[in-house]
Amino acid sequence: MDIIFIDELRIDTLIGIYPREREMRQTVELSLKIGLSTASAGASDDIHDTINYAEVVGRLRQELGTRQFGLIEKLAEFVATLLLEDFGAQWVQVSIAKLGMMPGVRRVGVVIERSA
């Protein structure tokens, strides 16, 4: 299995369980590993034979810009499902962090792995 990766993608979204978090967007940082075979794309040199990371980024910006999540775990499951079902990934690793949530802590987050 080959891996397409997207590191440190920052997107503003509504996320959190506290009232103050539900009123203003927060920046989350996503790092994605998307598993699939890239052999066809390597042979054809055609973007249609692989997952287009620009389309993934655009879709995530669109979806996270219009949705609200309580838990970061729910957001991670949403992203994993989107990659598996809408982009045809065979396996994904999704890392999502909220930035500067607590004094003295740079990032808090979750890493999940899912397979088709």
Distance CA(83)–CA(81), nearest Å, equals 5
Residues 6+ apart with CB under 8 A from 36: 1, 2, 4, 50, 51, 88, 89, 90, 91
| Annotated catalytic residue, options 28, 64, 75, 98 | 98
**Cβ neighbours around 92 below 10 Å, total:** 25
Answer yes or no: 33 catalytic.
no
What are the catalytic residues?
Answer: 98
